[in-house]
Amino acid sequence: QDDPTTSSSSSSSSSGKPAYVVVEARLRESEMERFGRYASQVPALVSKFGGEYLVLGGQHEPLEGDWDSTRIVLHRWPSAEQAREFWDSGEYQELKKLREGTGEFRIMLLEGLEMKDVF
């Protein structure tokens, strides 16, 4: 359910456009210590695969709609392919086991735009 690579609307082309991974988490208070073990190891792996954090937790304010997330995370990647390489890597799949049962997660892979594509 939280695999961003299986959506029929995702593009598998090698576009070279930037990509973003958005994570919405509703964490269980009783599992914060275990989640912390996962969260402390992910940034180095994201960096290793070429991604960078734009948002990592912090305060957030819903402006419209029903948002009951306890944490929002946003990564930027050079391409969707690099984001998928991270997601599908054995290293991340092993690390992901640490967060199982720590909350509910919705994770989306988005292809970005270059400004020349917008105007």
Contacts of 61 (CB under 8 A, 6+ apart): none
Strands 71-77 and 103-111: unpaired
Q: For the chain, what are the domain ranges?
A: 19-58+67-118
Model pTM score: 0.80
Contacts of 71 (CB under 8 A, 6+ apart): 23, 24, 25, 27, 57
> CATH: 3.50.4.10, 3.40.50.10310, 2.40.30.10, 3.30.70.100. Which one for 19-58+67-118?
3.30.70.100
Instruction: Walk along the chain (119 residues) and give the pLDDT tens digit of each residue.
Output: 444 443 433 444 456 799 999 999 999 999 999 999 999 999 999 999 999 999 998 888 889 998 888 899 999 999 999 999 999 999 999 999 999 999 999 999 999 987 776 66
Rg (CA), the chain: 15
Residue 76 to residue 74: CA distance in whole angstroms: 7
